[in-house]
Amino acid sequence: MKLSLGPVQYYWSREDLQAFYRQVADMPVDVVYLGETVCSKRRLFRFDDWLETARMLREAGKEAVLSTLALLEAESELRFLRRICSNGEFLVEANDMAAVNLLSAAELPFVAGPTVNIYNAATLRVLVDAGLKRWVPAVELGRDTLADIQNEAPDSVEMELFAWGRMPLAMSARCYTARAYDLPKDDCGYRCLDHADGLTLRTREGEPFLAINGIQTQSALTCNLLPEVETIRNMGAKVLRISPQANHTGRIVQAFADALQGKEDLPDMQRLMPVGGCDGYWHESTGMTNSHS
């Protein structure tokens, strides 16, 4: 199996992104996804910056993939999407059906991200006919469901499993972060910059419940499938995806790389998470469940 680093889901400064990807160049990952997938107002990193970063990572031996927005609401966003899809150099991760349509019409291969709803093998085959080469299942699909889909999947398509990170659950036209600060969406003050791993929401009992990241809702708990690496390998998945976080990403990548090499003395990953871990969806259970707590 290969290791991938998913797109940064949060709003980090230009300097922080540049420093982060310089570190990524030396990490033991095979595939790196680049681009803004949440909010089109996040423009500190421009299209040319993403291309320059992709070329730098390619020179470092990585496969660079450009990721698209998961929710498009304006013609300006469609224009930017067309620019990504026609970049001429790098594979594209489509995160909505508009991107799938553009890439398929251009007869370009693509990756389907976790926000493209593929819940059965029939849908997967339709997208393979459209040019799909790799797919990232929705995070709520468990091992039994995925095994059934994998058994019917065409041999030409690769499964890439979301194995670490706060899980992307939903998108909305409303901006939850702006709402939390009693600000209008169009004049949000870019408050997402203040929350490098999203803004954790807790229940009245103080338990972490969700994380808000602009217009995106995430799990507050971190999905951790490190103990399931061999099961995932036996299922036939080809890539494990790690979602970047503000701290410890390099240590997390190394832990997964060690696991893929067969090392059994795995570190305590709990201390590398913003608030705690979960693996319930993988076990076909409530998402917040943690079988390793």
**Which pLDDT value is given to residue 120?**
96
Whether residue 288 has pLDDT greater than 90: no
**Which pLDDT value is given to residue 230?**
94
| CA distance linking residue 54 with residue 272, whole number of Å | 27
Give me the phi and psi of 34, to 5 degrees please. -130, 140
Q: What percentage of residues in the chain have a pLDDT greater than 90?
A: 95
Rounded alpha-carbon distances, angstroms, from residue 62 to 33, 226, 246, 285: 10, 22, 21, 35
**Which pLDDT value is given to residue 265?**
84
Q: pLDDT for 47-103, tens place per residue? A: 999 999 999 999 999 999 999 999 999 999 999 999 999 999 999 999 999 999 999
| CA distance linking residue 162 with residue 139, whole number of Å | 7
Size (the chain), residues: 293
**Which pLDDT value is given to residue 183?**
96
* Mean pLDDT on 124-147: 97
Burial class of residue 152 (count of CB atoms within 10 Å of its CB; 0-12, 13-18, 19+): exposed
The Cβ of residue 108 has, within 10 Å, a number of other Cβ atoms equal to 17
> CB-hemisphere CA count at 13 Å for 241?
27
When pLDDT is cut at 50, 70 and 90, the band that residue 290 belongs to is: confident
Q: pLDDT for 212-247, tens place per residue? A: 999 999 999 999 999 999 999 999 999 999 999 999
For the chain, the farthest-separated pair of C-alpha atoms sits apart, in whole angstroms, at 52
Closest CA to 68 of 130, 111, 27: 111
Closest CA to 61 of 2, 111, 114: 2
Q: In the beta sheet, which residues pair with residue 219?
A: 210
Topology of 2-167+222-270 in CATH?
Answer: TIM Barrel (3.20.20)
When pLDDT is cut at 50, 70 and 90, the band that residue 106 belongs to is: very high
Q: What is the mean pLDDT of the chain?
A: 96
| CA distance linking residue 257 with residue 14, whole number of Å | 28
DSSP strand pairing (158-171 vs 132-135): parallel
**Which pLDDT value is given to residue 287?**
86
CB 129 within 8 A of CB 153: no
**Which pLDDT value is given to residue 264?**
81
**Which pLDDT value is given to residue 110?**
98
**Which pLDDT value is given to residue 292?**
72
Domain residue extents for the chain: 2-167+222-270
**What are the b/e assignments for 112-122, b being 16+ CB within 10 Å?**
bbbbbebeebe
When pLDDT is cut at 50, 70 and 90, the band that residue 293 belongs to is: low
